[in-house]
Amino acid sequence: MEKKMKAIIFIAHGSKKEQSNNEFVNLIEKVSKEDTKYDLKKAAFLELATPSVQELAVDFIKKGAKHISFYPYFLNSGKHVLVDLPNIIEDLKKEYPLIELKLLPHFGKSEKIKDIILSDIN
């Protein structure tokens, strides 16, 4: 049985400031080195920086990904998390109906954030 190639796209808002974008890319590179679940993994941006979520998803599909998870690196469930990302994924599903696409809960939903804050302030 053929292994289904799995991919994950980590999504940040994107900034006009290259330093901000690079901080996110560097974080994702560190995470990617330790991850063993996904075959393909990379950072993408909603606006103001590249690659876009759509561009990266198409690139991963062309590389053979059959399952793509989308991890929104957003603290709160604003318009990007509640509207923009679901719309992008729905559009991709229409274009690539045989690819399994899954929007994961956004970063701010993690129960571990409280522990990080407590660790930082104590």
Domain ranges (residues) in the chain: 5-121
Q: Which residues contact 51 (CB under 8 A, 6 or more apart)?
A: 42, 44, 45, 59
Q: What is the pLDDT of residues 6-55, one digit of tens each?
A: 999 999 999 999 999 999 999 999 999 999 999 999 999 999 999 999 99
The CATH classification number of 5-121 equals 3.40.50.1400
Q: Is the pLDDT of residue 2 over 70?
A: no
Q: Is the pLDDT of residue 90 over 60?
A: yes
Q: Is the pLDDT of residue 81 over 80?
A: yes
